[in-house]
């Protein structure tokens, strides 16, 4: 949460930067100065955070080095591992059973009686994605047993995790075959739908050169107009999206899917 003092500081730095560099100042420069001030206040123990900012990296890059894992709270760890093996064919990497560790508990927010915290943790990898799931079952304090499923338009927290697939219909049939899964809509008419064609006027590219490039805008229209996807919720309350055709976003670690045929070109249009 941004405190009032932090917001005031941000506004003051932004105004100073505008005065110094004119109205076309870089937002990155403002963000960097805000970060430098906060690091200056908090880096009293020689942790090295300030040293990172002396490089040419942008503030966001100075601290972040990649995606580590996605945590999923579960009530029965062996059953959860079995489920994700059936859903994603996950590869188990390591497991901590009845793990007790004071430092771990304190970092998780259990400052009172951290020695009493007990948890079992399994790390599993989804093949072909570079994505690791951290499945976590708390024994003490015991986890809540109620799993809440949220609608796609709900706010608060991550709403869904999207994975790319190369055969959306096969993926849909697979998801439906697992009785634990809940499609986002229970109607028998729900299926992977294709996004309708879009126009270049319906979106904007942040890079001004790309925004002015008609070929680039047309390419985005072609990509988006070929996307098919669907949502489902797993038994642990995680909402997943499977999508096909969304090139140019995210990371592809597997082979490229065959391109969709250009119907307009085939028709000579």
Q: Could you tell me if 188 and 242 lie in one domain? A: yes
Say how many C-beta atoms besides its own lie within 10 A of residue 207's C-beta. 9
Which of 26-35, 211-220, 232-241 has the lowest average pLDDT?
26-35
Q: Could you tell me if 110 and 76 lie in one domain? A: yes
The domain of 256 spans 161-266
Domain assignment present for residue 103? The answer is yes
The pLDDT tens digits for 69-79 are 999 999 999 99
Question: Looking at 111, 140, 169, which one is the last position of a domain?
Answer: 140
The pLDDT value given to residue 190 = 98
194: which strand partners? Answer: 228
Q: Name which of 139, 55, 134, 72 is nearest 99 in CA terms.
A: 139
Q: Could you tell me if 75 and 18 lie in one domain? A: no
Q: Name which of 172, 260, 268 is nearest 223 in CA terms.
A: 260
181: left (phi over 0), alpha (psi -120 to 50) or beta: beta
Mean pLDDT of the chain: 83
Q: Is pTM, for the whole model, over 0.85? A: no
Residues 6+ apart with CB under 8 A from 81: 90, 92, 122, 124, 135
Domain assignment present for residue 149? The answer is no
Question: Looking at 42, 63, 84, which one is the last position of a domain?
Answer: 63
β-bridge pairing 118-126 and 91-99: antiparallel
The pLDDT value given to residue 202 = 97
The pLDDT value given to residue 113 = 97
Residues 7, 9: Cα–Cα separation, whole Å = 5
The pLDDT value given to residue 265 = 47
Q: Could you tell me if 186 and 244 lie in one domain? A: yes
Phi and psi torsions of 78, nearest 5°: -60, -40
- Is residue 57 over pLDDT 70? no
Q: Could you tell me if 116 and 167 lie in one domain? A: no
Q: Could you tell me if 166 and 259 lie in one domain? A: yes
Q: What is the mean pLDDT of the segment spanning 9-17?
A: 64
Number of domains observed in the structure of the chain: 3
Q: Could you tell me if 40 and 59 lie in one domain? A: yes
Q: Could you tell me if 192 and 220 lie in one domain? A: yes
Residues 74, 156: Cα–Cα separation, whole Å = 20
Q: Which residue has the higher pLDDT, 27 or 66?
A: 66
Question: Looking at 109, 140, 171, which one is the last position of a domain?
Answer: 140
Residues 165, 252: Cα–Cα separation, whole Å = 10
The pLDDT tens digits for 134-186 are 999 999 999 888 888 888 888 888 899 999 999 999 999 999 999 999 999 99
Domain assignment present for residue 105? The answer is yes
Q: Could you tell me if 74 and 127 lie in one domain? A: yes
- Is residue 207 over pLDDT 90? yes
Domain assignment present for residue 150? The answer is no
């Amino acid at each position: 949460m941004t405190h009032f003092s932090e917001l005031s500081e941000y506004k003051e730095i932004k105004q100073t930067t505008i005065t110094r560099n004119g109205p076309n100042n870089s937002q990155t420069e403002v963000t960097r100065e805000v970060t430098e001030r906060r690091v200056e206040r908090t880096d009293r123990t020689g942790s090295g955070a300030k040293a990172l900012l002396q490089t040419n990296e942008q503030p966001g890059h100075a601290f972040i080095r990649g995606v580590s894992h996605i945590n999923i709270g579960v009530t029965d760890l062996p059953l959860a591992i079995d489920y994700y093996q059936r859903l994603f064919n996950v590869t188990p990497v390591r497991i901590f059973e009845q793990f007790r560790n004071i430092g771990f508990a304190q970092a998780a927010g259990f400052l009172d009686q951290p020695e009493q915290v007990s948890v079992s943790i399994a790390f599993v990898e989804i093949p072909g994605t570079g994505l690791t799931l951290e499945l976590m079952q708390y024994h003490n304090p015991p986890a809540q047993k109620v799993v809440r499923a949220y609608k796609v338009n709900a706010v608060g927290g991550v709403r869904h995790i999207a994975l790319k697939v190369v055969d959306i219909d096969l993926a849909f049939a697979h998801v439906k075959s697992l009785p634990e899964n809940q499609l986002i809509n229970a109607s028998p008419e729900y299926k992977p739908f294709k996004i309708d064609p879009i126009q270049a006027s319906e979106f904007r590219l942040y890079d001004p050169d790309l925004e002015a490039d008609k070929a680039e805008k047309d390419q985005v229209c072609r990509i988006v107009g070929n996307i098919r996807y669907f949502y489902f919720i797993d038994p642990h309350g995680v909402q997943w999206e499977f999508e096909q055709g969304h090139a140019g976003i995210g990371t592809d670690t597997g082979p490229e899917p065959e391109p969709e045929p250009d119907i307009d070109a085939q028709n000579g249009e």
